[in-house]
Amino acid sequence: MRLARLPILAATCLLALGLTSCASSQIYAGNKKVGTYFVLPKEWHLISNKLLNQKEAESTAPGAADKLSRVQFQEAYSTELGVTPADVFSLNTPKGAVAYIRVRALSNAELNSVSYNSLRDIVVPISQWATGTDKNAPVFSISDDYEIVDKGGRGVHTIYDFTGGDHISQTVNQSAMVSNDHRMLYVLLIRASTKFYSAHQKELTKIADSLTVRGAN
């Protein structure tokens, strides 16, 4: 399956995953129930759905419990041992690289307000930073931004760098999509220090491009 070529900035492709013919050198990560998958090298280490849910349940942020109740599936993988759910959810630069997939139902309010800008802003306020009007914005740049379309939905793929509170530049390769009926949100985040990302760009790009959103059966 290939992503439709669309005119925002560039195009990419999705890999149609043959789950019955998984090569031993790869991990086919995802969930059949929500119809979402991506592929990683077998050396990556799993942070499970259960552990991520447990950590997210500790949040006291407004709306956090409601969002968790809407999560259909989430899972993360890291190139390094010892990476925790707290590291996955943190904005600090991770050790090595982390790939995090999340699928959740949207609230009624979100159904009426979802846009490509809100998808870009799923982790940090990219659309606000990009205007240059936020005096508190960190050092920030976008290297790629384009529309993505798959059988189960459509959205936007954005690659950007920013330097957060840990004073280390990190690169985020972010795919955020909504289902065709606008009821489900699909997110794949790949994060690493900009130095690590640059050294492993080919591998990390391949992981990002493997994202497949078929939607629930």
**Residue 21 above 90 pLDDT?**
no
Count of other CB atoms within 10 angstroms of residue 54: 11
**Residue 212 above 90 pLDDT?**
yes
Write down the mean pLDDT value for the chain. Answer: 88
**Residue 99 above 50 pLDDT?**
yes
Percent of the chain with pLDDT over 90: 79
Q: What is the mean pLDDT of residues 144-160?
A: 97
Residue 86 domain boundaries? 19-213
**Domain presence at residue 5:** no
Which uninterrupted H or E stretch holds 116?
helix 116-120
**Residue 183 above 90 pLDDT?**
yes
Q: What is the mean pLDDT of residues 136-154?
A: 95
**Domain presence at residue 50:** yes
**Residue 97 above 50 pLDDT?**
yes
Measured CA to CA, the distance from residue 151 to residue 194 in angstroms comes to 32
Q: Which pLDDT score is estimated for 217?
A: 66
Looking at the structure of the chain, the number of domains it has is 1
**Domain presence at residue 7:** no
**Domain presence at residue 10:** no
**Domain presence at residue 205:** yes
By the 8 A CB rule, do 178 and 104 touch? Answer: no
Lowest mean pLDDT among 1-10, 42-51, 94-103: 1-10
Cα torsion 68, 129, 100, 89 to 10°: value is: -60
CA count, 13 A, side-chain hemisphere, 201:
8
Measured CA to CA, the distance from residue 55 to residue 157 in angstroms comes to 27
Taken as a whole, the chain contains a residue count of 217
Q: Which pLDDT score is estimated for 111?
A: 87
**Residue 209 above 60 pLDDT?**
yes
Measured CA to CA, the distance from residue 27 to residue 17 in angstroms comes to 11
Render the burial of 155-180: b for 16+ CB within 10 Å, e for the rest.
bbbbbbbbebeeeebbbbbbbbbbbe
* Residues 40-61 pLDDT 10s: 999 999 999 999 999 999 999 9
Which uninterrupted H or E stretch holds 205?
helix 201-209
Q: What pTM did the predictor assign?
A: 0.87
**Domain presence at residue 145:** yes
Q: Which pLDDT score is estimated for 140?
A: 93
CATH number at residue 120: 3.40.1000.10
Using only C-alpha atoms, the chain has a radius of gyration, in whole angstroms, of 16
**Domain presence at residue 45:** yes
Question: By C-alpha distance, which of 207, 110, 104, 214 is closest to 153?
Answer: 214
**Residue 19 above 80 pLDDT?**
no
**Domain presence at residue 209:** yes
Q: Which pLDDT score is estimated for 25?
A: 85
Measured CA to CA, the distance from residue 115 to residue 92 in angstroms comes to 26
